Each structure stands twice: as structure tokens, then as C-alpha cells.
Amino acid sequence: MSEVLVIDDETVLARAMVSFLERRGFPSVYAVDGVSAKAMFQREQPRLVILDYKLNEDDGLELLEWILESDPRTQIVMMTGHGDVGVAVRAMKAGARDFIVKPASLASIAAIARDLMLDELGAGLNRTGVERIIGRSSAANSLRTAITGLARPCDRDTRPGVLIVGAAGTGKTLAARALHDASGGMPEGFICVDCTHRREDMGAHLAEMVSRAARGTLVLRHLEHLSETAQGQLLALLDDAATPPSLIATANQYLSPGNGEGLILPGLLYRVQVGWIDVPSLGERTSDILPIADYTASRIARDNGFGRPRLTAEARARLLQLDWPGNVAELVNCIERAMLLQTDGVIDAGHIRPITARCPVDDDVPTLQELELGAIRKALGMAGGNVSRAAGLLGVSRDTLRYRMEKFALSRR
Ligand SMILES: Nc1ncnc2c1ncn2[C@@H]1O[C@H](COP(=O)(O)OP(=O)(O)OP(=O)(O)O)[C@@H](O)[C@H]1O
């Protein structure tokens, strides 16, 4: 019996996947069309099916349903085209466990097999180094490769400074920690300074942090917010330190040299911006959403001493549909909330309540309340905030609109 069945009409690719999976220790077989796939499934009873959505004559989604009717315990990973989130959402709703975007590297296919078959996402909670970065997208792979390439043994020498650039909540600090670990740094040698804090005693605080991070890593989070005075103090501290720390700075964009708001003193900038790492937004790596959600749910369950929760098909589909402007930080926050809301170890779509994320391409029917709110916002915008004019556009009285605005806590603009 084989553990994995690959269903793909591109024979060369299917064969390559099978031999790669076999070398990784997973007995595997392949089928190139629906009829042979069904026969193979019944004969081999695989635990995992990797199924191409676009099969020549056959419909991948129909085959998915047939497989799950035959054996609901089967884990199915749907292969979709680039940007085909709609297909991934439909596959999740139909019961797929995850999806992978084509063309996928053989290594990422093997990684998904490993995670699902060996249950590694749940088991491997104490991760260090680049393994801290969960995700199977090519962006996550590039991130891990970049971190590995910049790692240097930091007990022997000071590692050249590294700037980590990315939008809010993308995982810049996590990448910094991964780089520190990968350089052989001890946990206590990883020291973060949040430069957005305008502390009166910033000079003294920096002095303490530089000394605590000696031979370790000093992370300057959001360096662009450090005042010019504090930057000067930091430079002097680094120059005077007998064992200066390796520097990592994080920022939302690349930094420019200069004096004044948002600029970095050249002496400091040239120390920090030697190597760099770009961390993409979560919207650019949709295939990381479910592994991060699963991992976070498992971690919270472990930390609180209860069993690992199950995310339903609807919850998975909903997570994929949302646009996540707050990136991974918002996804983690949303899973934390879902863990509080669930009561029986099952996270359903109703428990997925993000703070700002919305469904930009939602094929679900919007609620009447959402429609009403949208119409009021649009009318107020068109009327430049004038309530009487907006009421006219909506065909209701001024009082009615006022009442509705109060109900939704809406302001005029
Ligand atoms: N790839 C990932 N896998 C697992 N967890 C992640 C990943 N990326 C980020 N996280 C988690 O998301 C949260 C936010 O990450 P982090 O604080 O590193 O973001 P940030 O970019 O530094 O945020 P900010 O812009 O606010 O400084 C943390 O809980 C972190 O552990």
C-alpha cells in the first residue's frame, strides 16, 4: 500500500513528485486521469492525496468529493494555479486539508507531506533558527534562505548589520530572532529595543541594552523612529563597547541617511544597512495562511494545557478569503480570539473574527447590515459628509439617516 497518491495529468511532473516523495520516505504512486486515480485510490488506500485541480478531462473538485465520500479520513492537498485563491477556497469548503500553488518546488511538496503525515506542525512546537518561520510559499522559502545566508557565528565576531524591511506585522522581529538563533546566539543574548517608545531615559536605556546584548544581537525595532539625539548616543555606545553586539534593525521601508525626522545618521545607517532581508506581506503568500493558523492554534493549546483544536473546512476557507492588512500579527491575533471563542475544540467560521481583515472577493452573500452600512458610507462620501444630501441620495429622511448613523456609530466622513 502507498501512503501518497499524486494525481496530475502531466506525467513527467507526477513521476518526479513520486520519486522525490519516495526518496523522502513516503511510498507513493501516481495517476494521470480520473478513472485511473479512482482505481488507484481503492487499491492503495493512501492517507494523503495531492490532487491537481486542472485535470485534462476530469474535474479536480468532483474527484476530491468522490475521494472524501469513499474515505473521509483522507487528507487532500489541492494544487491550484497562481492567484487561484477562489479555487483554493472552494477546495477547502469541499474538505481539502490544504492547497499548494503550482508550479511548486518538489521540496515544498515534500514539506507539506511531512507536515500532514507526520503531524509535524503539531509536534514541532519548540522551533529554533529558520524553522521558526512557518510557511511553505516560495516567499517563505526565500526568507529562510536569506536568513541562513546572513547567519554568522556571533560569539566569535560581530555579524555585519542587517536591515529587515516589511509592512507592519509581517514577522520582521521573528526573522531577527531566527537570524540570531541561526548564528548560534544564546536566547538571553537576543535584546530588542522598541524605537517607537519616546522614553525620557532613552540614553540610559540604550546603554543598558547595548551592554546586555554584548556578543549577542541588539534588535532596533522601527529604527526610523529613534530620535536624532538617541541615534548619536547609540553610535557613541557602540564605538565604546569592548564587545559590541551584532545589529539588526527593522523598518517598514529602506532607510535614508541624514539628520532629522525619519532619517538615520550616516554613521549608524552604514553600520546597520549592510545586509538586508525583505519580508513580504501575508497577501503575497496566501499558502502560508493555513500552516501559520494551524501552528498558532497548536501552540496556544499546548501553552494552555488543552488538546489541539480542529479548524473546520469553513473556517479554513474563511481564513483564505480574508485580505489580512495587519499581516501575520493580525492572523495570530484572530486565531488567539478564535481559541477563546471555541468551546468544544472545534474552530468554525463563526469564530474567525479578525480586527481589520475583510473579504475582498467574497462569494458569500453579504448580510443586510453590511449592505446598509456600505450604502450609507458611499452616500456620505458622495455627499461630502452632508447628512441631508446623503439622505436624499438614499431616499430616506434626514432623521432616519441620523438614527442609522448612530446605530452603526458612523461619523459624517
Ligand atoms: N512565518 C511565521 N510563522 C509563524 N509565526 C509568525 C510568522 N511570522 C510572524 N509570526 C508571528 O506573528 C506575530 C508578529 O510577528 P512580528 O512581531 O515578528 O512582526 P513585525 O513585522 O516585527 O511587527 P511590527 O511591524 O509590529 O514590528 C508574532 O506573534 C510572530 O511570532
| pLDDT tens for each residue of 28-38 | 999 999 999 99
Q: What is the pLDDT of residue 63?
A: 93
79, 104: one domain: yes
Give the residue-averaged pLDDT of 17-33. Answer: 89
Give the residue-averaged pLDDT of 308-330. Answer: 90
Does the CB atom of residue 192 touch ligand 1 within 6 A? no
273, 135: one domain: yes
Q: What is the pLDDT of residue 363?
A: 52
53, 169: one domain: no
Does the CB atom of residue 174 touch ligand 1 within 6 A? yes
Burial class (CB in 10 A: 0-12, 13-18, 19+), 11: exposed
Instruction: Output the domain CATH number for residue 16.
Output: 3.40.50.2300
Please tell me the distance between residue 326's alpha carbon and the centre of ligand 1 in angstroms.
10
Is residue 359, in this structure, part of any structural domain at all? no
Is residue 9, in this structure, part of any structural domain at all? yes
Decide if pLDDT at 323 tops 80.
Answer: yes
Last residue of a domain, one of 236, 258, 278: 278
Last residue of a domain, one of 239, 254, 278: 278
267, 296: one domain: no
Is residue 249, in this structure, part of any structural domain at all? yes
Does the CB atom of residue 291 touch ligand 1 within 6 A? no
Q: What is the pLDDT of residue 124?
A: 63
In this predicted model, which residue has the larger pLDDT, 355 or 268?
268
- The residue whose CA is least distant from atom 25 of ligand 1 is 168
Is residue 400, in this structure, part of any structural domain at all? yes
| Residues whose CB falls within 8 Å of the CB of residue 58, separated by 6 or more in sequence, listed in order | 33, 34, 37
Residue 103 preceded by cis peptide, ω within 30? yes
136, 80: one domain: no
Instruction: Output the domain CATH number for residue 259.
Output: 3.40.50.300
- The residue whose CA is least distant from atom 13 of ligand 1 is 329
Tell me, letter by letter, the H, E, C secondary structure of 52-116.
ECECCCCEHHHHHHHHHHHCCCCEEEEEECCCCHHHHHHHHHCCCCEEEECCCCHHHHHHHHHHH
291, 269: one domain: no
Give the tens place of pLDDT for each residue, 75-94.
999 988 766 788 888 888 88
Please tell me the distance between residue 148's alpha carbon and the centre of ligand 1 in angstroms.
18
Q: What is the pLDDT of residue 367?
A: 64
In this predicted model, which residue has the larger pLDDT, 12 or 408?
12
Is residue 44, in this structure, part of any structural domain at all? yes
Q: What is the pLDDT of residue 122?
A: 52
Does the CB atom of residue 173 touch ligand 1 within 6 A? yes
Last residue of a domain, one of 278, 303, 329: 278
In this predicted model, which residue has the larger pLDDT, 6 or 124?
6
In this predicted model, which residue has the larger pLDDT, 165 or 357?
165
Q: What is the pLDDT of residue 264?
A: 96
Q: What is the pLDDT of residue 207?
A: 95
Decide if pLDDT at 359 tops 80.
Answer: no
Is residue 363, in this structure, part of any structural domain at all? no
Q: Which region among 11-15, 190-194, 326-330 has the lowest average model confidence (pLDDT)?
A: 11-15
Q: Long-range contacts: 86-89, Cβ < 8 Å, 24+?
A: 86/361, 86/363, 87/53, 88/286, 88/320, 89/317, 89/320, 89/321, 89/363
135, 183: one domain: yes
Does the CB atom of residue 169 touch ligand 1 within 6 A? yes
Atom of ligand 1 nearest to the CA of 170: 21
Of 173, 181, 196, 288, the residue with max ligand 1 atoms within 8 A of its CB, to mutate for a pocket test, comes to 173
Give the tens place of pLDDT for each residue, 149-190.
999 876 667 789 999 999 999 999 999 999 999 999 888 999
Q: What is the pLDDT of residue 155?
A: 60
Atom of ligand 1 nearest to the CA of 134: 3
Give the residue-averaged pLDDT of 297-315. Answer: 86
Atom of ligand 1 nearest to the CA of 176: 18
Q: What is the pLDDT of residue 154?
A: 63
Task: Categorize the per-residue pLDDT at 129 as very low, low, confident or very high, splitting at 50, 70 and 90.
Answer: confident
Give the tens place of pLDDT for each residue, 251-276.
999 999 998 888 999 999 999 999 99
273, 290: one domain: no
Task: Categorize the per-residue pLDDT at 374 as very low, low, confident or very high, splitting at 50, 70 and 90.
Answer: confident
Decide if pLDDT at 413 tops 70.
Answer: no
292, 249: one domain: no
Question: Which structural domain range is residue 324 located in?
Answer: 283-351
Whether complex ipTM tops 0.85: yes
Instruction: Output the domain CATH number for residue 374.
Output: 1.10.10
Task: Categorize the per-residue pLDDT at 137 as very low, low, confident or very high, splitting at 50, 70 and 90.
Answer: confident
101, 140: one domain: no
Q: Are 159 and 152 in contact (CB under 8 A)?
A: yes
Q: Is 286 helix (H, G, I), strand (E, B) or coil?
A: helix
Atom of ligand 1 nearest to the CA of 167: 25
Is residue 413, in this structure, part of any structural domain at all? no
Decide if pLDDT at 198 tops 60.
Answer: yes
Is residue 412, in this structure, part of any structural domain at all? no
Task: Categorize the per-residue pLDDT at 366 as very low, low, confident or very high, splitting at 50, 70 and 90.
Answer: low
Total of domains in the chain? 4
Q: Please give the mean pLDDT across all residues of the chain.
A: 87
Does the CB atom of residue 167 touch ligand 1 within 6 A? no
Can you give the C-alpha Rg of the chain in angstroms? 26
Percent of the chain with pLDDT over 90: 46
188, 208: one domain: yes
Q: What is the pLDDT of residue 156?
A: 63
154, 251: one domain: yes
Burial class (CB in 10 A: 0-12, 13-18, 19+), 262: exposed
pTM: 0.77
Does the CB atom of residue 329 touch ligand 1 within 6 A? yes
Does the CB atom of residue 170 touch ligand 1 within 6 A? yes
Please tell me the distance between residue 128's alpha carbon and the centre of ligand 1 in angstroms.
14
Q: Which residue has the cell 547609540?
A: 234
